[in-house]
Every structure is written in C-alpha cells, then in structure tokens.
Amino acid sequence: MHRTVELDMTPKTARLLIYCPDSKGIIAAVAGFLAEHHGNILEADQHTDPHNGEFFMRVEVELDGFVLNRATFDDAWSKVANSYNMRWHVYWGNETKRMAVLASKEGHCLNDLLWRWKTGELDVDISFVASNHEGLKEYVDVVGLPFYHLPVVATNKQAQEQQLLSLMDECQVEFLVLARYMQILSPDFVAKYPERIINIHHSFLPAFAGPKPYHHAFERGVKIIGATSHYVTDQLDQGPIIAQSTLPVDHRDTVDDLVRKGRDLERVVLANAVRLHVEDKILVSQNKTIVFD
C-alpha cells in the first residue's frame, strides 16, 4: 500500500473537549490547570448557550513539554472536572484515529475519501471498506485497502450487521463513515457507536426525502440544492447535523445537472464532516452540534 503524505511540521497536540453547566471561572480553571502542568495552549475556543445554561470548550495543547499523558491525565484532571460537573474527552494527537467506510453502488463519496486519505489530506487510518455490492471493489483495491462484500437480503440483515461489527471489533475501528450506504442500520448497531457514525444525506435536510430527491426537486423548480452530513441515530436522518452546504440552480438545469451538482456537494460536505470529527472539533448537546472550526 502506498500513501503520499506531506511532511507535517505542526506540533503534536492533546485536544480537550468540555461540556458542562455554565458557571463563573471555568476558563480560568482550565487555563490554570494546563499552565500548572506546563501545557502550552495553541488554540482555545468556547461557547455559552444562555438558553440552556450550557458551556462548551475545546482546547488544544502542545504535547512537547506537557508533563501529563494518557496514563496520568485523568487523575490529575478529575478535581477540576468534578468541581464543574464536566463531561469531557481528551484526544492524544500522537495517535491516529481508525475509521471504516460503508458504501453501496455509488462511488463518488467513497472515491473522494480514498483520495483525501491517500494524499494525506485526511489524517486517519482506514481499516477497511465494506459494501453490500461488489462494484466498488476495484477502486478500493487500487489504493491497497481491504474490501469486504457483505450482501444484504431480507433474511440476513442481522447476520450481516454482526459480520460488520466483528470486523470493526477486530480492526479496533473507532468510527464509521457511510459513503452513500443505502441500508438502514439497526438501533442496536447504532447504539454501539453513539456519535461515531457519520452519514451523508442527498438533500438539505429535511426536504425531498426518498429514493429520487433530485427528481422531486426538479419537479418543484427548486432554486437551491443541498447536502447534509450528520451523526446517525436510531431516528432516520434525524441525527445531529455536522455540516451542510447548498448550490444555486435554476430553470436551465436538467435532472442530470442536479444529480451532478448534488454529488459534488455530497463529496465536499461528507469530507468536511469527517475532517471535523477527526480533528475533535464537534461537541453534541440535545441533538445539536457545536462545531469549533
């Protein structure tokens, strides 16, 4: 397998994400803790939701010189976290996230992700690609990744999902990307990866659901088309939205034009959502996302 990766001169970092009830002194407490442990803050962002009384924060700390690590951070941090009733997560940037990709027949989103991974633009390890059809195997073989054909029929849905879960466990996959995967995952499957399954939807949600959204849009004479990427929940296409985009269209556009433009949007929106997840720039609260980008 050959992957072209440009030399990255940026420092390795730890990313601390915080979600808690809003109160005075949180920022000072976080900054003070990091300074006490020789953490150089490279980036910090925060958001307060006055309606719900919630506070969100993302802090990126240079690992060089930081005296805490994966083994010692939790105990040291717990006093601050408990005093503000924080939910928190820390990602150690010297470790690369592992993802898997599911696709069906359409390859535009899959090929875009593979290209971004192969060129080093997307800093992840892709453990494997799986599909309920065999048509995309050649594209995956070209980049040297494992491809698994996991067909779905009415009688084997549960067994197919179990195969997929076994593969993910074996490869220690941390999150899953649905690159136009045209199967609905069961609630039991989704529950095993909360806020770790990313989907791309072929419209500016919630409009024009169904198998032929661009045809419906054409019939309505829409002036914009869109794409939406979101986390998967057990409520179909109702998960927290990560990224969206639109393009203007007009009466000159045919159905084929809408499909072509829509596919371009889907590629970019899905890739952006995956990047945001990989870079730990998303916090979720009450089925909404706070995106620090």
* Same-domain check for residues 76 and 116: no
The predicted structure's pLDDT at residue 208 = 62
Indicate which CATH number applies to the domain containing 115: 3.40.50.170
* Same-domain check for residues 102 and 84: no
**Pick from 77, 92, 107: which residue ends a domain?**
92
* Same-domain check for residues 48 and 108: no
161: in domain: yes
**Pick from 72, 92, 112: which residue ends a domain?**
92
- The closest alpha carbon to 266, from 249, 280, 246, belongs to 246
DSSP state of 11: P
The predicted structure's pLDDT at residue 237 = 77
Catalytic residue, from 22, 237, 257, 264: name it. Answer: 237
Question: And the tokens for 17?
Answer: 């994400």
204: in domain: yes
Indicate which CATH number applies to the domain containing 88: 3.30.70.260
* Same-domain check for residues 248 and 275: yes
**SS3 at position 9:** coil
3: in domain: no
The predicted structure's pLDDT at residue 148 = 97
* Same-domain check for residues 75 and 115: no
Specify whether 234 is catalytic: no
* Same-domain check for residues 43 and 77: yes
Spatial neighbors of 157 by CB under 8 A, at least 6 apart, are: 186
- The closest alpha carbon to 91, from 104, 73, 114, belongs to 73
1: in domain: no
* Same-domain check for residues 177 and 242: yes
* Same-domain check for residues 128 and 234: yes
- The closest alpha carbon to 94, from 125, 127, 63, 58, belongs to 63
- The closest alpha carbon to 183, from 207, 199, 205, belongs to 199
* Same-domain check for residues 87 and 112: no
* Same-domain check for residues 77 and 195: no
- Cβ atoms of 50 and 5 within 8 Å: the answer is no
**SS3 at position 8:** coil
b (16+ CB within 10 A) / e for 152-162: beeeeeeebbe
* Same-domain check for residues 70 and 178: no
How many beta carbons lie within 10 A of that of residue 58, not counting itself?
22
The predicted structure's pLDDT at residue 207 = 61
Q: How many domains does the chain have?
A: 2
DSSP 202-262: SSSTTSS-SS-HHHHHHHHT-SEEEEEEEE--SSTT-SPEEEEEEEE--TT--HHHHHHHH
Whether the pTM exceeds 0.75: the reply is yes
132: in domain: yes
* Same-domain check for residues 174 and 202: yes
192: in domain: yes
7: in domain: no
5: in domain: no
Cα–Cα distance between 152 and 131 in angstroms, integer?
A: 9
**Pick from 92, 108, 128: which residue ends a domain?**
92
Query: What range defines the domain where residue 17 resides?
Result: 13-92
The predicted structure's pLDDT at residue 10 = 62
Q: Tens-digit pLDDT profile for the chain (293 aa)?
A: 556 555 454 678 999 999 999 999 999 999 999 999 999 999 999 999 998 999 999 999 999 999 999 999 999 999 999 999 999 999 998 789 999 999 999 999 999 999 999 999 999 999 999 999 999 999 999 999 999 999 998 889 999 999 999 999 999 999 999 999 999 999 999 999 999 999 998 776 456 666 777 777 777 677 888 899 999 998 877 889 999 999 998 899 998 998 899 999 999 999 999 999 999 999 999 888 999 99
The predicted structure's pLDDT at residue 7 = 45
